[in-house]
Structure 1
Amino acid sequence: MTVGAGTVDREFAAVIGLGDGTLVIGQSLYPGNPATLKQMPMAFLGSCDNTTLLKKTRHKIVVCQVDDVGLAIPYLEYAKVDAGLFISNDSFSSLDSQFSFPAANISPQDGPTILNYIHRSSEPTATITFRRTVLGTKPAPTVATYTSRGPSASCPNVLKPDVMAPGSLILASWAQNSTVGTVGTHNLYSPFAIISGTSMACPHASGVAASLKAARPGWSPAAIRSALMTTASHLDNTGAPIRDMGNGNKQASPLAMGAGHIEPNRALEPGLVYDAGTKDYVNLLCAMNFTSKQLRTITRTATVDCSNPTLDLNYPSFIAYFDPNKTSAGAPSVRQFRRTVTNVGDNPVATYTANLVDIMGFTVSVVPEKLSFKEKYQKQSFTLTLKENTREKRDAVLHGSLTWVDDTEKYVVRSPIVATTVRPISL
C-alpha cells in the first residue's frame, strides 16, 4: 500500500495579542521560556534580509513578509532578535515552525491584520503566548505539499498513491540521543518529537491495517488494502472536496491523495472488497516485460506460469492513459477494466447499485449497473469502460469515481477513476 501525507485538524499555535485588542493565531513550536512574551514594541522590516537593520531593532517583535520562511529565519537568528513573526504563503511554513527563538508563522489571510495595525499605530505593541494547541482546524485534512504524487513510474497501470493519512506535525517517538530542537544554543532532548512526512503517514495506515487483520483474520492483504481504500473519505471536515496544498489549494486529484483520507472505523465494514491473490500478481508481473530470470527472482519459484498476462490487476481504483497527440479522426480511444468484488457485508443477500461521477470529455459506463449477492463471500464481476469524446491536452489529469451502494445504503464502496495524458517517468 502506498500512502500519501495530509494535515490534521490540530494546530500548534502561538496567540498574538495586538495592542488594539485583536487576537491573531499563528503557528509555532517554540518550546522555550517564558511561554508568554509581555507587551513588546513591533517593527515591520519587509523581507528581513538586512542584518544591520535587524540588529538595530533586535529588542522588538520583528515582522517579516517573505516568500520562504526557511531562508528568512537565519537572518533573525544571526541578528539575535527577541522575537519574530513571519507572514508568508509558503506552503512549507508549517515545517519551519520549530523555532530556536520566540517566533511564529502567520498565514497570508491574517497577515494584513497585523500589518494594518502596525501602519496605523504610532507605537505598535503585541504579546505572544506560545505552547497553545488549537483543535478543530478547518479545512482538514489537506494534502501536504511535500507528499509524492503519482502516477507510478514502476507500475503505471496501478493508480498510486492508494490513500492518504495523517502526516503533518505528528507526535512521534524519537531517539533520546538525538536533539528534537534548540532554544538559543541549548539543545533539547525528548523521547518524542513533532515530525512531518510520509514517514508519519505510513505508520498510521500500517497500524490501521494491523488492526483490521486482528479483527478480520481471514482477510488477505489485498482485501485489507481494498477496505481502507473504498471507505476512505474524499471530503474534508467542511464537507468539501479535499484540497491540495501543493497545487494552490485546488481540489486534490487521486494522483495526490489516492482514494482519500483513511477512516479506520468505516474500513472495518467495507461491504465489498476487491481481492487479489498470488496468481493475480504473477499475471501482472508477466505483463510488465520482466525477464524470466527476474520473474523467478521476484516470485521465488523455479518456474513462472505466464499463460494469462494482464496489466488489469483486480484493484480498487482505475487509471487510464490517453494520447494527446493522436488525431481526432477514426474510432475514439477506449479503455476497459474488468473487476471482481467479494461480498463481505453482514447481509449475505444484498444488491449494490453503481453510482458514477462522470469525467469531463469522457463517457464512463459500467456493466452491469447492479450486482446481486445471495450469500456471503460470493463474488460478482463488472466491466468499467472509458471512452474519450474530446481530445485532451497534454498533461491533463481528469478524475471521477465509481461507487457501489447497497440497497440499505449501509455500505458505500467508492473507487477513484483517473483519465490522464500524463506519462509517468520511467525508472
Structure 2
Amino acid sequence: MAKKPGFLRAYPDRLIPLLTTHTPDFLGLQQGRGLWQPSLLGKGVIIGILDTGLHATHPSFDDDGIPPPPSKWKGSCEFPAGCNNKLIGAKSFPSAGSGAPDDDVGHGTHTASTAAGNFVRKVESFGLASGTSAGMAPHAHLAIYKVCSASGCSGSDILAGLDEAVKDGVDVLSLSLGAASMPFYLDPIAIGAFGATEKGILVTCSGGNSGPTASSVSNEAPWILTVAASSVDRNFRSIVTLGNGEQLYGESLNQPKSFKPSSLPLVYPDDPTCATVDASITGKVVLCDATGNEGDVAAGIKRAGGAAVIFLNDQTAGYSVVLRDNEFPSSKLTFKDASKIKIYVNTTRKPEASITFNGTVLGVSPAPVVAYFSSRGPSLATPGILKPDISGPGLNIMAAWPVQVGSGKNGAKTFNIISGTSMANPHLSGIAALIKSAHPDWSPAAIKSAIMTSSDDSSNNRKPILDEEHSPASFFAMGAGHVNPSKAADPGLIYDLDVDDYIRYLCGLDSSNVGEIVRRNISCSKFGSISEAELNYPSMVLSPGSTVNRTVTNVGKAHDVYKVEVEAPNGAKVTVTPPTLNFSKVKEKKTFTVRVIGGRRGAEGSLRWVSRRHVVRSPIVITGGL
C-alpha cells in the first residue's frame, strides 16, 4: 500500500464510543417568533446524522409541510419502504451491521429528532413533559448514515460516512460520538470533518461525557463546533418529605399515580450502593448511592419488598440530576440534599420519609447549569484553542425513540428522556441548519463564530452560568457560553476563516503530519505557519506578553460603529487597538490588535465589541504565567 501513488498513512481501525417538547421554547424558538421565522424552520437545508441509524416510521420523521430536497442532493435511500421529503437518504456502513439502517439502539433516532424532528402533537414520556415535540430545525431534511452499533462506531466507517455525506450534498453534519483526545492525524473524525469543511459543510460534535475531569474534552479540532451539555429550566419533580418536616426537591421519571405519599420507615443499608439488599427493607423507603445502574438497583429493591427508593448524588455529580428509567417509585437528590438526608437518617431514632410526585415543573432557576458529565478543557490536542466551543441542552432531554419505554403505551409516538453531550450536540446542528437557511452564503466558520459570540454567559436568573457545584462555570466547562439561536442569526460581526487558515495553523501545530489531515501533500514552507493564538478564532487563549491580531467582518448594517469593552482576566492588563471600529458597508473587514500584559494562569475575561444593536463577545483565557 505504501508504494502506491497518493498513499499518506495507514493506521489501525478503532472502536469509538457513542457519547424534545420544551427545549425549543427554552431556546426562544417558537412558531412566528425568533429564528424559526426567518429560517423558514430550516427548509431547504440538509442535516447529515452519523449515528446508530433511524426508526424511519416514527412520526417525528413525517414530511408534512416539507418540500422535496434541493436538486443538489445526490444521496440514496436503503430503507426498503423508501424515504420521504423529511428523511431523504439513509445508508448503512459495514461494521454498523448489515441490512437497512434501522436503529436498534435508540441513540440515532433520539439525536436525529432533536436536530430536525417534525412537529408531533400530544406526546409525552413516562407520563411527563406532555406537549408538542419538535427538533431545532423542524422542516430541514435528514440524511442518515449508520456508522455505529450498540458496541460503538468503527473509525473507518465514520470516515467513510463523512466522505459519503459530503458527496451526497449535506449542509451540516452532526456527530454525537467520539473517543478520547488524540492527535488530529490519527483521528478519523478530525480528518473527515476537515474534508467536509473544505466543501463548506459545518461539522458539530459532542465534546464527550468524561467530565468534570479537566482536559477530558474530545473532538477538539478548530474546524469542528465542539458542544458541552447543560440543563434546561424543566424538572420532573418528586418531593421527599422527612419525618422532621423538612422537604427536599428531587426528580424522577417514575411517578406512579397509585403511589400514596404516606410516611414510611427510611433505611440506608449497610451496602450504600444497594447492590445487595434483603427482606429487612420490606415496606420501607430505601436510600441508595447513585452509581448509574438505577434500573438494576430498583429491580432488586422491588424483589426484596421495598416500597420506594431515593437515589443520592455523590459530590462529583453535585447538582446535576441525571434521570434513568427504573420502573419503581423513586426520587433522586442533589449532593447537597443527599448530605442532608444522610445526616437525618444517621441521627434519628426512627427515620421516616414520604415521596410526593409533582410531575413536570417549568421555570426552574438557575438554568442553564453545566452538567457534571460534560467534558472539560483545556484541550490536549490543541491547548491554545479554547474547547469546548459552546454549550446546549443535554440534561434529561426528551426526543423520539424506536421502542416503548417505561410502562407507557404510546404506540408510534414513543419518546424517551436521556442525557449526554450526545443530546446537546444535535441542538447545535439543528440551530446551525437554521442559520444556514437564513444565511446560505455563510461559511462554516462564520456560522460557528455567530453561535459563539452571541451566546449567553448568564442564566435565567441574570447571574453567571453555574457548573455542577453551583460555582461560576469556566469557559473550559461551558465554552463561550450557552447558545442563543435568535441572536446567532444576527451576530453583527463574525470571525471568519478559510481552509488555508486552518492549514497554516496545522503547520504551526505540527508540520510533520499536515498532509495526513488534509489528505494531500502540503508544503508548510509555502503555506507558512501561525500559532494557535494567531488563528482568527472567536475565542482567545493568550499568554502574558502576547500580541495577536483578529479580523472581523461586518454582517450587520452598513455604517455600524463598534466600541471595545474589555473585562480583563485577573491580574492582566488587556489593550485593544484601535478601540473603535467604524464600518461603512456590509461585508467590510476590520483588523484589531490585542495585547496582554501579566495575568494569572487560567484567569478568564472577555472582549466585547458593542454597537447600538449588537454585543459581540469573545472569551479570553490566560495560559502560562503563574
- Residues 123/299 of structure 1: CA separation in 2 closer, same or farther (3 Å cut): closer
- Tell me if 1:213 matches 2:436: yes
The alignment partner of 1:418 has SS state of strand
Match of 2:391 among 157, 164, 172: 164
Q: TM-score, normalised by structure 2?
A: 0.57
Unpaired runs of at least 5, structure 2: 1-224
Whole-Å separation in 2 of the counterparts to 1:388 and 1:341? 26
Query: Partner residue of 2:515?
Result: 296
**Residues 602, 621 of structure 2: 8 Å contact kept:** yes
- Tell me if 1:308 matches 2:528: yes
Whole-Å separation in 1 of the counterparts to 2:435 and 2:489? 6
Query: Partner residue of 2:484?
Result: 263
Query: Partner residue of 2:618?
Result: 415
Whole-Å separation in 2 of the counterparts to 1:66 and 1:210? 41
- Residues 298/108 of structure 1: CA separation in 2 closer, same or farther (3 Å cut): closer
- Tell me if 1:342 matches 2:553: yes
**Residues 545, 598 of structure 2: 8 Å contact kept:** yes
- Residues 205/118 of structure 1: CA separation in 2 closer, same or farther (3 Å cut): same
Match of 1:38 among 237, 257, 260: 260
Deviation at 1:48, TM superposition (A): 5.4
- Residues 38/78 of structure 1: CA separation in 2 closer, same or farther (3 Å cut): closer
Query: Partner residue of 1:55?
Result: 279
Q: TM-score, normalised by structure 1?
A: 0.81
- Residues 9/313 of structure 1: CA separation in 2 closer, same or farther (3 Å cut): same
CA deviations on 1:402-422 (whole Å, 9 max, x unpaired) are: 00001x2x1000000011349
Deviation at 1:159, TM superposition (A): 1.1
Match of 2:329 among 95, 102, 107: 102
Whole-Å separation in 1 of the counterparts to 2:244 and 2:568? 52
Equivalent runs, 1:237-248 vs 2, <5 Å: 237-245=460-468, 248=469
Query: Partner residue of 2:425?
Result: 202
Deviation at 1:343, TM superposition (A): 0.5
**Residues 69, 90 of structure 1: 8 Å contact kept:** no
Deviation at 1:193, TM superposition (A): 1.3
**Percent identical:** 36
- Residues 147/107 of structure 1: CA separation in 2 closer, same or farther (3 Å cut): closer
Instruction: Read off the aligned partner of 2:420 and give its amino acid letter.
Output: G
**Residues 97, 105 of structure 1: 8 Å contact kept:** no
Whole-Å separation in 2 of the counterparts to 1:19 and 1:136? 29
Query: Partner residue of 1:353?
Result: 563
Structure 1 stretch displaced more, 379-388 or 106-115: 106-115
Structure 1 stretch displaced more, 156-165 or 102-111: 102-111
- Residues 57/189 of structure 1: CA separation in 2 closer, same or farther (3 Å cut): farther
Equivalent runs, 1:14-163 vs 2, <5 Å: 14-16=238-240, 24-30=248-254, 34-47=256-269, 49=271, 55-62=279-286, 64=287, 66=289, 73=297, 76-77=301-302, 79-92=304-317, 94-107=321-334, 110=337, 112=340, 124=352, 126-129=354-357, 132-163=359-390
The alignment partner of 2:546 has SS state of strand
- Residues 43/315 of structure 1: CA separation in 2 closer, same or farther (3 Å cut): same
Size of the aligned set, in residue pairs, is 390
Instruction: Read off the aligned partner of 1:212 and give its amino acid letter.
Output: I
Query: Partner residue of 2:606?
Result: 401
- Tell me if 1:388 matches 2:612: no
CA RMSD of aligned residues (A): 3.3
CA deviations on 1:261-314 (whole Å, 9 max, x unpaired) are: 0000010110000011111111112212232xx433433445546342112111
**Residues 354, 404 of structure 1: 8 Å contact kept:** yes
**Residues 180, 189 of structure 1: 8 Å contact kept:** no
Instruction: Read off the aligned partner of 1:58 and give its amino acid letter.
Output: T
Equivalent runs, 1:369-380 vs 2, <5 Å: 369-380=579-590
**Residues 48, 54 of structure 1: 8 Å contact kept:** no
Whole-Å separation in 2 of the counterparts to 1:197 and 1:231? 23
Whole-Å separation in 2 of the counterparts to 1:159 and 1:127? 44
Instruction: Read off the aligned partner of 1:128 and give its amino acid letter.
Output: T
Whole-Å separation in 1 of the counterparts to 2:277 and 2:506? 63
**Residues 264, 283 of structure 2: 8 Å contact kept:** no
The alignment partner of 1:359 has SS state of coil
**Residues 226, 390 of structure 2: 8 Å contact kept:** yes
The alignment partner of 2:514 has SS state of helix
Whole-Å separation in 2 of the counterparts to 1:334 and 1:360? 15
Deviation at 1:100, TM superposition (A): 3.0
CA deviations on 1:95-142 (whole Å, 9 max, x unpaired) are: 254223211113355564897699889795635336x11111111111
Unpaired runs of at least 5, structure 1: 322-332, 423-427
- Residues 339/58 of structure 1: CA separation in 2 closer, same or farther (3 Å cut): same
Report which of the two structures shows the higher radius of gyration computed on alpha carbons.
1
Instruction: Read off the aligned partner of 1:42 and give its amino acid letter.
Output: L
- Residues 91/141 of structure 1: CA separation in 2 closer, same or farther (3 Å cut): farther
CA deviations on 1:291-348 (whole Å, 9 max, x unpaired) are: 2xx4334334455463421121111000125xxxxxxxxxxx4112210000011x20
- Residues 88/280 of structure 1: CA separation in 2 closer, same or farther (3 Å cut): closer
Whole-Å separation in 2 of the counterparts to 1:359 and 1:241? 16
Structure number having the greater strand percentage: 1
Deviation at 1:39, TM superposition (A): 4.4
- Residues 150/24 of structure 1: CA separation in 2 closer, same or farther (3 Å cut): closer
Deviation at 1:13, TM superposition (A): 1.9
Whole-Å separation in 1 of the counterparts to 2:618 and 2:451? 11
Instruction: Read off the aligned partner of 1:313 and give its amino acid letter.
Output: L
- Residues 118/307 of structure 1: CA separation in 2 closer, same or farther (3 Å cut): closer
Whole-Å separation in 1 of the counterparts to 2:303 and 2:439? 56
Instruction: Read off the aligned partner of 2:587 and give its amino acid letter.
Output: Y
Instruction: Read off the aligned partner of 2:226 and give its amino acid letter.
Output: T
